[in-house]
Amino acid sequence: MLRVAVVGSGPSGVYTAQSLVQRDPEVLVDVLDRLPCPYGLVRYGVAPDHEKIKSLQHSLRTVLEHERVRFLGGVRIGADGLSVARLRELYHAVVYCVGAASDRRLGVPGEELAGSWSATDFVSWYSAHPDAVAAGDGFVRDVRTAVVVGVGNVAVDVTRMLARGAAELSPTDMPQAALGALSASGVTEIQMVGRRGPSQARFTTKELRELGGLPDTEVIVDEAELASDPAYGDPSALPAAQRRNVEVLRGWAAAPTRGARRRIRLRFFLRPVELLPVEGRVGAVRLERTAPDGRGGVTGTGRYEDVEAQLVLRSVGYRGVPVEGLPFDADSGTVPHAAGRVLRGGEVAPGEYVAGWIKRGPTGVIGSNRPCAKETATSVLEDAPVLARRRLPDDPLDSLRAMGAEPVQWAGWLAIERAEAALGASLGRGVVKLPDWAALRAAAGSADGSRTAHASVDPSHPADRPS
Ligand code: NAP
């Protein structure tokens, strides 16, 4: 048998596990995650109102319930956890599918002001990530106008969540505190700002179009602002995805305003140069008007506009985080690899692999992880005859326990699911996510046959670290 550890239980990790066990009956896979909950960004990134995408969890689940796949949550690899070298000793092969856990910076003065957040912070909060900043209702309290920087799908997600009302949010699994805050919010205007032109926006048309269907909300596009994009006037030569985006924007630009309660303004050719304070918090964003440079980029024009904003969400892309003990290319935020095989000093490191965003950068939709995972699984299986010669300890789970970790197994996760259903029922809602480590630990620890939850959820947590 070939024993493989997959680190990370998001789509790339689960698709890697699936590809391995489907293609080779001699493979056993442990899917490790630092959280006690599986599914990565499908659980903690996909917006709560995107139930259809969220339902992907059902197909990921069947993989994690496969007889040769085992979920081991609450195991951190790297700094403050099990070292990469030790993990390598426990398995014939280790595939890192750790995603891109951080966010890119704007690099402008005022970025650190209160009220300026990365979109990742905001998403983690409404997704009940246990490491989310404890902002309470601080994201939206006293906010009338918000600026979202960036025109990718995450920018569309956070814009939509700001514009949604209680009736649409309460059927979701959003944590109760975020539901209360967003339902009560007085945000009436959201400006989503792109530094380049409409034909260069990164959002996908389906997501863009959804903004036009939000209750009590209208989308406003100023044709004059978009017109300096040559492809705006005649989008026919654009690739289909961009052409459709431009067509949707043109439709909105041509529509009369309706005077709806909330407005989403889609702005282009504006780049943030500074966040301006009012009474110690962000009060406005200074934007510089840009112009196309004819090579796909833009140049500044020296003309500025200040847009009022009590909330700024910086949605300018994710960034990979190094795993201690693994090579890392800081420029791309990825691990150097050849067809998924980790390269150390340019040479293949036997038995170490990557898949997903840590391999190719934070781009693409969930389905993009399938071919990416398949390529890596192919490399693992090609190398298997040599890798499988190494003798291993009997069961890595015993070794993990001997080292003080107490992984949350599938029964623990199922107990968390039951606790979330019970919480929702007690609130008169559907499933409602548990929002913090303590609740997750308690729920996981209540699983039949599981050991007590102490030290079981996150060995990196000070209270849980074995002494
Ligand atoms: P993204 O698609 O890379 O978009 C980042 C945006 O930030 C771009 O508009 C980019 O503009 C802008 N930007 C970057 N640096 C900037 C700066 N310094 N100043 C101003 N603007 C800046 O990233 P994302 O939205 O985080 O999405 C990540 C991935 O997840 C994407 O592949 C996305 O499709 C996917 N995703 C999909 C869904 C869905 O399918 N529903 C939902 C969420 C996320 P430039 O183009 O000019 O660099």
**Domains, the chain, ordered by start:** 2-101+320-409+451-464 (3.40.50.720), 105-317 (3.50.50.60)
pLDDT digit string, tens, across residues 404-461: 888 999 999 999 999 999 999 999 999 999 999 999 999 999 885 444 332 333 434 3
Q: Does residue 49's CB lie within 6 angstroms of at least one atom of ligand 1?
A: no
Q: What is the pTM of this model?
A: 0.94
Q: List strands edge to edge, sheet with 311-314.
A: 116-118, 311-314, 145-149, 189-193, 262-267, 217-221
Q: Does residue 318's CB lie within 6 angstroms of at least one atom of ligand 1?
A: yes
> How many Å lie between the centroid of ligand 1 and the Cα of residue 173?
25
Distance in angstroms (rounded) separating the CA atoms of residues 315 and 120: 8
Among 202, 365, 366, 368, residue to substitute to test ligand 1 (most atoms within 8 Å of Cβ): 202
Q: Which whole number is the average pLDDT over 171-181?
A: 95
> How many Å lie between the centroid of ligand 1 and the Cα of residue 316?
5
> How many Å lie between the centroid of ligand 1 and the Cα of residue 279?
31
pLDDT digit string, tens, across residues 81-116: 999 999 999 999 999 999 999 999 999 999 999 999
pLDDT digit string, tens, across residues 262-296: 999 999 999 999 999 999 999 999 999 999 999 99
What is the position in ligand 1's atom list of the atom closest to the CA of 200? 46
pLDDT band at 138 (very low <50, low <70, confident <90, very high): confident
Q: Is the pLDDT reported for residue 137 higher than 90?
A: no
Q: Does residue 70's CB lie within 6 angstroms of at least one atom of ligand 1?
A: no
Tokens, residue 229: 């994009």
Protein residue closest via CA to atom 1 of ligand 1? 152
> How far apart, in Å, are the Cα atoms of 285 and each of 120, 269, 281, 374?
19, 14, 12, 44
What is the position in ligand 1's atom list of the atom closest to the CA of 53? 41
> How many Å lie between the centroid of ligand 1 and the Cα of residue 152?
4
Tokens, residue 161: 């969540």
pLDDT at 447: 84
Among 170-179, 209-218, 294-303, 452-461, the minimum mean pLDDT is found in: 452-461
Protein residue closest via CA to atom 40 of ligand 1? 365
Q: Tell which residue, 179, 188, 227, has the closest CA to residue 48.
A: 179
Protein residue closest via CA to atom 33 of ligand 1? 153
Distance in angstroms (rounded) separating the CA atoms of residues 153 and 146: 17
> How many Å lie between the centroid of ligand 1 and the Cα of residue 136?
26
Protein residue closest via CA to atom 16 of ligand 1? 316
Q: Tell which residue, 456, 74, 35, has the closest CA to residue 466.
A: 456
Q: Does residue 149's CB lie within 6 angstroms of at least one atom of ligand 1?
A: yes
Distance in angstroms (rounded) separating the CA atoms of residues 181 and 125: 11
> How many Å lie between the centroid of ligand 1 and the Cα of residue 242?
14
Among 55, 124, 147, 316, residue to substitute to test ligand 1 (most atoms within 8 Å of Cβ): 316
What is the position in ligand 1's atom list of the atom closest to the CA of 108? 18
Distance in angstroms (rounded) separating the CA atoms of residues 74 and 444: 10
